[in-house]
Structure 1
Amino acid sequence: MTDRQTRNVLFITADQWRGDALSAAGHPAVRTPNLDRLAAAGVRFARHFSNASPCGPSRASLLTGMYPHNHRSIRNGTPLDRRFTTLALEARRAGHAPALFGYTDTSADPRGLAPLDPALSTYEGVCPGFDPVCLMTESLEPWGEHLRARGHAVPHPVKGIWSAPGDTPHGPAVYAAADSDTAFLTDRALAWLEGRGGKPWFAHVSYVRPHPPWIAPAPWHAVVDPADCPPPARASEPEVEGAVHPWLGWRLGSFPTDPGHWLEDRPLDPRALDPAALARVQATYYGLIAEVDHHIGRLLDWLERSGEAENTLVIVTADHGELMGDHWMFGKEGWFDSCFHVPLIVRAPGVQASGVAGRVVEGFTEHVDLMPTILDTVGLTPPRQCDGRSLRPWLTGETPADWRRHAVFAFDFRDVAGGAPETALGLRPEQCSLTVLRGERYKYVHFPALPALLYDLAEDPRELRPLRDGLGTAALMRDHAQALLSWRLENEERTLTHIRLGEGGMITGS
């Protein structure tokens, strides 16, 4: 694989896609033939983890290469400090003008902006450096224009078109599959690619699906049989689940009591669904995944037809996962693998020639690795701010001897506007967070002011029974706490730490 071959970058993200939801990974219900063929031609990273949840913090790590404790954009709406460079800004140094189809959920740094600047009224800003060719924020207005042109009566806001009668979001949607938001975004990306005229390009295609509401157009609403959906990982009752930890007890007690439609202002409560209804929701979720896979296949087909496949770095991942009924919850809150384990498939130029096509990597990889990987592959040196490491050795058949032995991810649950968890749990905002050290066998969850948790994943892979007090558990928790502290000390913000000023001028270290 040479830098000369990597003319183009196709960086695809989906929203809220569980890491186990690939047919290549053996899921019994999911149908992902296009991602399976991409994995067969590239490398699948089986233990890839988002560094944060929800969307904004996760994408901040993706697009800066930094851990949340360094970039500090830790909630949707928390500004991203403008002093940090981004994947898109760095790509411009290689002559690319990265095009955005979808969204990045980058909250603008308010310093220096006028009080009435529209950038302050949304958390869905554009990450610096991207050209928003088709910006699909929560308003979904470009898609709304498309639907109106097709004769649909489109409400305001556009997402109201997803409202369905009844108490369960089964679908089908009122629009045809060819007019879905996923189809629309793919159409726009393909039209742009056709117009490149053979010039090098960089495209970030950011799909909103399978993010709720879980309403899919025909036939995607019915491609998965609910009977094939595995049961959720959860305790026998919500009260039993909530007794595991104070945060979990508070969270399970703060859902609404009606079933809802999974619009953002009326979330669906899994406690109100019987097993059959929950399986129907799961099937719709997996149907939306099948739809996204279908449209990713259209992009892959275009690469083949245009002759650009062997000149293009293709990366497919998700911002974070989805509980899908696990632990009696929907969404992406907490410390569970289903919130943070996401798919990652990479096909780089020269992979097939190097003999590693179809490789499955079991080493722990993280979102912070993707910015260094992309920059490295297009011939750029990643900036010093990046906390991750390039995955390029894995793509050329190597197995780095000094690779990480854990994945680390974080969730900040403060509520700046309402203070609900702070009040309920008696915490200061700075205490409303958790960090996870996730290893091969053990998983350690650290809170600043709440009890820590330790899971033995060999004995409890569904994360239902944290280890209780005892000499052995205490020693394991001490060791994991020390390991997490050491990790933190090794991964502090480093932009200027390699520079020393003094007599004789500036000295720059490695």
Structure 2
Amino acid sequence: MIPVVELTRVSAGKPNVLFVMTDQQRYDTVRALGNARIHTPNIDRLVERGVSFTDAYSPDPICIPARHTIRTGCEATTTDFLGNEKRDARHLEDRCGPFLARAMGERGYRTFLVGKYHAHPRDIDLGYDTRLSVEAYREDTGHEVKTTAREGAMVHLPQQNHLPPESNYEAWMTDRAVELVGEDGPFFGLVSYEPPHPPFAPSPPFDRMYDPDRLPGPVRGDRTVDHADEKIPAQNYHFWTAREDGVDETTARVIKAHYYGMISEVDRHVGRLLDAVEARDDAENTLVCFFSDHGELLGDHRGWEKSSFFEASCRIPFLLSWPAELPRGTRNDELVSLADLFGVATTAAGDPDLREGVDLLGMLAGDADPRDRLHGYHETPGLAPNFTTMVREGEWKYVFMANGGREQLFDLSADPDERDDLSDERPEKTADLRETAARKLAADGRTDYLENGTLKRHPYRRLDMGRLVREPYPDSPSDVLD
């Protein structure tokens, strides 16, 4: 627990609010927060400019549900998006209230989105005055966003972005965002970068920044622990990284080098955004929030991608910087969720709407309580039964997998790499957190995941997600030549 810090409280007028978001960035990829192997000087600037929440989580660690939580302030059990379902989301404002951008517009802000938004249909009205995404980039430059060698079977293999770093999509995004930050009047903006989401394809010279031999290999425990969640080996097969152990350690280190290169490339763009903020007369009264939608297993626990509740997949960087109001260079270990961002923005705007989050700004001021525990949920559509739920309480993490009724219990203080499942050794704690998870689902009205008052279990089934193929392979190899 970090002691309450007295805030400076010198701001005047409506603050600007800038959200800067990455896609699939692990919590342990910031140099100023402990990773001495990575180069992130501009994200480090944000660390020193404000408060770093070191126990922040994506409550549904996959793209679409996480982004719906950000724009609604509601958990997946409320939005009913528990997996990457490409279905119409326009009804969410009826269910949850105005989307965040619309809510900020109602509070007197000009609003803009630059980059990825991941909602359907493509023309969905998310409430922004200005929205610039891939379509605008293609029209403006004539380039395609994806410029890597191949996707499909190679999506996780190290590649290179063939566009130079000054003219690729992320550079174009940053140019447009800098222009919008520089306009007059209080603004709410979301700049949403695609990297380090695969394909792992940094632009030169970021593709050769890191020597794989100097990077640590993947964290691996016993396979019964690593693959208790059957979605992990199913995803390995889906993404062509094998059914069991995935790629070899040497290749995993090369992939990590490219992943780090993508983060360092985005860091360069973050620096340009911060320079634009600091060029404003009201720079001190600009709240910058930096976060990611979820993490990336990156070979840890013999897995790749996201959607699991291992720390590498669900724990994220989460930084708040507001020099006029918040202390600088502060660490905070309270439990934080993406659901809290709605309240951060609306509270800064002077008209708080917390929805299903907690009041982080009030908590930092000593005026609001932190959460006692944090819940997470995930279910891959069409791959039943695979509902998974997490409870994080103190140093304990409990994970329940409906497929087979499997359970895990980790003591993160003693076992931060989550190698030792204590669910059998600590049956009372396991039962306590199991019932905590069941009570929360009951309170949320999600009785579809309950049976006889506790979490519903299903007979174990080996899951099959099939193979990821962007373009179908031909029946005969010679057909590609015709």
Q: TM-score, normalised by structure 1?
A: 0.77
- Judge which range, 163-172 or 203-212, deviates more: 163-172
CA deviations over 1:178-204 (Å, ceiling 9, x no partner): 01221111011112333x2x2222211
Q: Which letter does structure 2 place at the counterpart of 1:463?
A: E
Q: Residue 277 of structure 2 corresponds to which residue in structure 1? A: 303
Name the count of aligned residue pairs.
429
2:76, 2:82 within 8 Å by CA — same for their partners in 1?
yes
Report the 3-state secondary structure (helix = DSSP H, G, I; strand = E; otherwise coil) of the residue aligned with 1:179: coil
Report the 3-state secondary structure (helix = DSSP H, G, I; strand = E; otherwise coil) of the residue aligned with 1:306: coil
CA distance in structure 2 between the aligned counterparts of 1:2 and 1:490, rounded to whole angstroms: 40
Segments of structure 2 that go 5 or more residues without pairing to the other structure are 1-8, 447-482
Q: Residue 348 of structure 1 corresponds to which residue in structure 2? A: 322
Q: Which letter does structure 2 place at the counterpart of 1:392?
A: L
Q: 2:336 aligns with which of 360, 365, 370?
A: 365
Pair 1:183–1:268, CA change in 2 (3 A):
farther
Q: Residue 134 of structure 1 corresponds to which residue in structure 2? A: 132
CA distance in structure 1 between the aligned counterparts of 2:423 and 2:358, rounded to whole angstroms: 35
Report the 3-state secondary structure (helix = DSSP H, G, I; strand = E; otherwise coil) of the residue aligned with 2:114: strand
Cα offset, 1:468, TM superposition: 4.8
Cα offset, 1:25, TM superposition: 1.3
Q: 2:219 aligns with which of 233, 248, 252?
A: 233
Q: Does 1:62 align with 2:70?
A: yes
Cα offset, 1:382, TM superposition: 0.5
Q: 2:106 aligns with which of 60, 75, 93?
A: 93
CA distance in structure 1 between the aligned counterparts of 2:11 and 2:411, rounded to whole angstroms: 43
Q: Residue 358 of structure 2 corresponds to which residue in structure 1? A: 389
CA deviations over 1:64-109 (Å, ceiling 9, x no partner): 11111111122222443340222112112212232110132223xx
1:7, 1:200 within 8 Å by CA — same for their partners in 2?
yes
Q: 1:184 aligns with which of 172, 176, 179?
A: 172
RMSD: 2.7
Q: Residue 338 of structure 1 corresponds to which residue in structure 2? A: 312
Pair 1:65–1:10, CA change in 2 (3 A):
same
- Judge which range, 47-56 or 433-442, deviates more: 433-442
Pair 1:362–1:31, CA change in 2 (3 A):
same
2:148, 2:160 within 8 Å by CA — same for their partners in 1?
no
Pair 1:268–1:126, CA change in 2 (3 A):
farther
1:42, 1:359 within 8 Å by CA — same for their partners in 2?
yes
Q: Does 1:276 align with 2:250?
A: yes
CA deviations over 1:391-424 (Å, ceiling 9, x no partner): 113444x385x42232221111232xxxxx33xx
Pair 1:407–1:230, CA change in 2 (3 A):
farther
Q: Residue 480 of structure 2 corresponds to which residue in structure 1? A: none
CA distance in structure 1 between the aligned counterparts of 2:377 and 2:37, rounded to whole angstroms: 29
1:5, 1:310 within 8 Å by CA — same for their partners in 2?
no
CA distance in structure 2 between the aligned counterparts of 1:127 and 1:227, rounded to whole angstroms: 47
Q: Does 1:439 align with 2:393?
A: yes
Cα offset, 1:458, TM superposition: 3.3
Pair 1:492–1:287, CA change in 2 (3 A):
same
Cα offset, 1:254, TM superposition: 5.7
2:246, 2:299 within 8 Å by CA — same for their partners in 1?
no
Q: Does 1:319 align with 2:298?
A: no
CA deviations over 1:443-470 (Å, ceiling 9, x no partner): 1112345222222323432122312535
CA distance in structure 1 between the aligned counterparts of 2:338 and 2:212, rounded to whole angstroms: 32
Q: Residue 471 of structure 2 corresponds to which residue in structure 1? A: none
Q: TM-score, normalised by structure 2?
A: 0.82
Report the 3-state secondary structure (helix = DSSP H, G, I; strand = E; otherwise coil) of the residue aligned with 1:413: coil
CA distance in structure 1 between the aligned counterparts of 2:240 and 2:137, rounded to whole angstroms: 23
Q: Residue 413 of structure 2 corresponds to which residue in structure 1? A: 458
Q: Residue 181 of structure 2 corresponds to which residue in structure 1? A: 193
CA deviations over 1:335-376 (Å, ceiling 9, x no partner): 211111111111125136xxx211100111111111011100
Pair 1:483–1:392, CA change in 2 (3 A):
same
Segments of structure 1 that go 5 or more residues without pairing to the other structure are 108-118, 149-153, 258-265, 416-420, 494-510
CA distance in structure 1 between the aligned counterparts of 2:322 and 2:332, rounded to whole angstroms: 15
Q: Does 1:476 align with 2:422?
A: no
